[in-house]
Structure formats: C-alpha cells, structure tokens
C-alpha cells in the first residue's frame, strides 16, 4: 500500500470529532508550508521561459534538424 492509501484507511476509522481535529491539523500544516515559502514543482515550472522564435513550437523538428535556424 502507498502512504496515501494507508492514511485514507486510518481516516476511515476516525470519528467525527477526530476528523475535525485532523482537518485543523492538516490546514495548519498547509498554511505553515505556504508561509515558509516552499513552492511545488508546478509553480516552479510555470516560471520557465523559453527565448525562441514565434514558430518554434510548431516547427520544433525543423529547428532540431537544422533545416531552420534562429536568426
């Protein structure tokens, strides 16, 4: 079993009051992580910028083979 599956199995055994306490703990953990400034992989990938011609994506194969060149 994965860690996520193990956690879900344990959650299924909790009562409503314990679920409220768990939710508050998870929310606190999430907020503290945001305050620290840790960002996920996807937010880091969004910052990547490629300096290329406008038709680069459409003609990637031509640029890679050398049939087209960056001016």
Whole-model pTM over 0.75 = no
Mapped onto helix, strand or coil, the DSSP state of residue 35 is: helix
d(CA 17, CA 25): 13
Both tokens of 13, joined, read: 């055994």
CB 63 within 8 A of CB 70: yes
> How confident is residue 55, by pLDDT bands cut at 50, 70 and 90?
very high
DSSP structural state of residue 27: H
Residue in 34, 12, 35, 32 with CA at minimum distance from that of residue 22: 12
Query: What pLDDT, on a 0 to 100 scale, did the predictor assign at position 4?
Result: 92
Query: What pLDDT, on a 0 to 100 scale, did the predictor assign at position 19?
Result: 93
The model's pLDDT over 32-54, given as tens digits with 9 standing for 90+, comes to: 766 666 677 888 888 888 888 99
The reply to whether 5 and 24 lie within a common domain is yes
The reply to whether 18 and 45 lie within a common domain is no
- Looking at the 3D structure of the chain, how many domains does it have? 2
Return the higher-pLDDT residue of 21 and 30: 21
Q: Which residues form the domain of 8?
A: 1-38
């Amino acid at each position: 079993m994965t860690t996520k599956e193990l956690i879900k199995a344990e959650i299924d055994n909790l009562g409503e009051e314990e679920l409220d306490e768990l939710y508050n703990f998870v929310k606190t953990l999430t907020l503290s992580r945001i305050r620290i400034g840790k960002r996920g992989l996807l937010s880091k990938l969004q910052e990547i910028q490629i300096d290329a011609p406008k038709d680069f994506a459409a003609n990637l194969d031509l640029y890679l083979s050398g049939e087209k060149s960056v001016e």
